[in-house]
Structure 1
Amino acid sequence: MNNEMQNLYETVMERKENPEEGSYTAYLFSKGEDKILKKVGEECTEVIIASLSQSREELIGEFGDLLYHLCVLMAEKGISYSEVEAELEKRSKKKHNLKAERRPIENL
């Protein structure tokens, strides 16, 4: 998957640096961060809805849409795919990373 995600990110960056007329990616960049954030939020919601009520194939499509829009947001914020990949690699080396349930402080 990493190779495909890297290719997707590179395509998004290419569209950002060299916008093509008719490109949806170029359109998103031209509309700015607010539009990109709105699309990421919409796609998150669509993944949730698809998880609850749609077919496996539709859910896979929604995951693809979300990953694409996340790549656009990363590019907009100047975050490279390799930076995210390095973060995931760092996390994969941690063991016992479950956050303990936080308990409320009772009458001190």
Structure 2
Amino acid sequence: MAAFESDPPAAADDILATLYQVILERKQLAEGEKSYVKSLYDKGLDKILGKIGEEATETAVAGKGGDPDEVIAEVADLFFHVLVLLGYYDLPPARVYDELRRRFGLSGLEEKASRGS
């Protein structure tokens, strides 16, 4: 992914929202324009899901390895590919933030019971 044209925002939700907007722009590139994001969308949902699985596995391996820099790098890759999945469905990251806010303050058992599963 190319560097931002200006300085990236400081707040976590701002950087994720900004990155998401770039992902949506790349999703709309014309046929033949080169972009990693565009290539994922062109290959379809299974490719995107495969990348998420790959990055989740690499995150788990990094977590087991205990190198903080490696953990950060792999989580960043995982976040990126999750944003690509959200973009596939045109779901803004704010929807995830809202869900996390809804769950905040609930115990895990209370949250699970609220879903009815």
Partner of 1:99: 109
Query: Unpaired segments of 5 or more residues in structure 1?
Result: 101-108
- Runs ≥4 in structure 1, deviation > 4 angstroms? none
Partner of 1:64: 76
Query: Unpaired segments of 5 or more residues in structure 2?
Result: 1-11, 111-117
Q: Distance in 1 between matches of 2:46 and 2:19?
A: 21
Structure showing greater radius of gyration is: 1
Aligned residues: 98
CA RMSD after TM alignment: 1.7
Partner of 1:45: 57
Q: Distance in 2 between matches of 1:97 and 1:17?
A: 41
TM-score, length-scaled by structure 1:
0.82
Q: Distance in 2 between matches of 1:25 and 1:96?
A: 36
What is the one-letter code of the residue matched to 1:4?
A: I
What is the one-letter code of the residue matched to 1:14?
A: E
Q: Distance in 2 between matches of 1:96 and 1:64?
A: 27
Q: CA shift at 1:58, angstroms?
A: 1.2
Q: CA shift at 1:47, angstroms?
A: 0.2
Partner of 1:5: 16
Identity %: 35
Partner of 2:25: 14
Partner of 1:83: 95
Q: CA shift at 1:54, angstroms?
A: 4.9
Q: Distance in 2 between matches of 1:96 and 1:72?
A: 29
Q: Distance in 2 between matches of 1:45 and 1:56?
A: 16
Partner of 2:36: 24
**Partner SS, residue 109 of structure 2:** coil
TM-score, length-scaled by structure 2:
0.76
